[in-house]
Amino acid sequence: MTWALAIHGGAGSMTRANPGPAGARDALAQALAAGEAVLVEGGAALDAVEAAVRVLEDAPEFNAGRGAALSYDGVAELDAAIMHGATRKAGAVAGVTATRHPVSLARAVMEQSPHVLLGGAGADAFAVAHGLEPATQDWLILPERRAQLEIMRAKPDGAFDVEMKFG
Amino acid sequence: TVGAVARDAAGGLAAATSTGGVTGKRWGRIGDSPLIGAGTYADDRACAVSATGSGEFFIRTSCAHEIAARIRLAGEDAATATETVLAEITAMGGTGGVIVMPLDGAPFWRFSTKGMYRGRVTADQAAEVGVFDDE
């Protein structure tokens, strides 16, 4: 059996005429390198996916962690999940607002609680109680995401634009 | 939305997804990413999947689990299962993409949008990244 890793940074309306953020390819390469470093040493798939996603959560080019899309009220409300194929154990969080790496919080839910999915303020409290690295909204939110939200809110029906996620 | 699927040297699979959702989401809207079986799923009997796109459609089709179930129960190959489920999502009006890690062989992706940020690396294949649908 040979190790392998695949990643994504979101699907959307990127074209050669409208390529999206310049640093995206570099961030993808760094995420692959982080996961590969685990696998090439015989490490577990679970550690590899967490390592790769953490890089992408920190990359401002993608809609996750720092650089996430904003809710109608201008809040970075983050969701994440992780799953282990051998045991089908899984952990997930929804609507968290104060953790740097939601994927690691999801893993903590999987490994340090009897639950699968925690949401909102409870999930934020779980992060604090289990020592996950915090992040402020100021750190999570980028100016271009605020601008994107203003454009969206200016629309008469205020409908969100799925295609404008750019990952 | 970002995600990863992996297979380790022992053959174990894993999947992970993380997202900010969509710009302007209201009323506590949650998409497919944190829903196990919709946007994220891993099963050593079938495959590992991470999805991105219009989450409501990936939830309604239980996309990630459906791909794994078609492989496990119907004996479909991973590519056929993936294309079939994505076609269902498209027929419903959804758009997006998935990355899939099969039990053996190279990981792959399928997407119905103009582009998808993606990459892969294996023990036998150097790292590659892509954005546009024609690369």
DSSP assignment string, A45-108: HHHHHHHHHHHHHH-TTSSSSTT---BTTS---EEEEEEETTTTEEEEEEEE-SBS-HHHHHHH
The whole-number pLDDT of residue A167 equals 40
CB neighbours of residue B41 within 10 Å: 31
The minimal CB distance from B18 to the residues A6, A57, A149 is found for A57
The whole-number pLDDT of residue B129 equals 97
Of the residues B1, B17, B52, B61, only one is catalytic, namely: B1
The whole-number pLDDT of residue A22 equals 78
Cβ atoms of A101 and A65 within 8 Å: the answer is: yes
Cβ atoms of A54 and A100 within 8 Å: the answer is: no
Cβ-based neighbours of B36, under 8 Å, separated by 6 or more: A81, A83, A90, A92, A116, A117, B65
Q: From the candidates B7, B13, B19, which should be mutated to test the interface with A, based on the most A CB atoms within 10 A?
A: B19
Cβ neighbours of B109 in A, within 8 Å: 6, 8
First to last CA, chain A: 31
Mark which residues 98-127 of A lie under 8 Å from B by CB: 101-103, 106, 116-117, 119-120
Q: What is the percentage of chain B residues whose pLDDT exceeds 70?
A: 100
Residue keyed to tokens 């796109």: B53
| Mean pLDDT over each residue of chain A, to the nearest integer | 92
- Are the beta carbons of A4 and B52 separated by less than 8 Å? no
Cβ-based neighbours of A42, under 8 Å, separated by 6 or more: B8, B9, B10
Q: Which of B43-47, B84-88, B131-135 has the lowest mean pLDDT?
A: B131-135
The span from the CA of A60 to the CA of A20, in Å, is: 12
The minimal CB distance from A68 to the residues B20, B109, B116 is found for B20
Instruction: Kindly state whether B39 is in contact with chain A, defined as any CB-CB distance less than 8 angstroms.
Output: yes
- Reply yes or no on whether the pLDDT at A166 is more than 60: no
Active site residue B1: yes
The span from the CA of A56 to the CA of A27, in Å, is: 7
The span from the CA of B113 to the CA of B90, in Å, is: 10
- Reply yes or no on whether the pLDDT at B126 is more than 50: yes
Q: Specify the DSSP element, H or E, that contains B89.
A: helix B78-92
- Are the beta carbons of A4 and B121 separated by less than 8 Å? yes
Mark which residues 61-100 of A lie under 8 Å from B by CB: 62-65, 67-73, 76-86, 88, 90, 92-95
**Closest among B33, B72, B21 to A106, alpha carbons compared:** B33
ipTM above 0.90, yes or no: yes
pLDDT in tens, B40-59: 999 999 999 999 999 999 99
Q: Is A124 exposed, middle or buried (0-12, 13-18, 19+ CB in 10 A)?
A: buried
The minimal CB distance from A64 to the residues B19, B41, B120 is found for B19
Instruction: Kindly state whether B90 is in contact with chain A, defined as any CB-CB distance less than 8 angstroms.
Output: no
Mark which residues 106-125 of B lie under 8 Å from A by CB: 106-109, 111-124
Q: From the candidates A5, A139, A151, which should be mutated to test the interface with B, based on the most B CB atoms within 10 A?
A: A5
A160 band by pLDDT with thresholds 50, 70 and 90? low
A52 band by pLDDT with thresholds 50, 70 and 90? very high
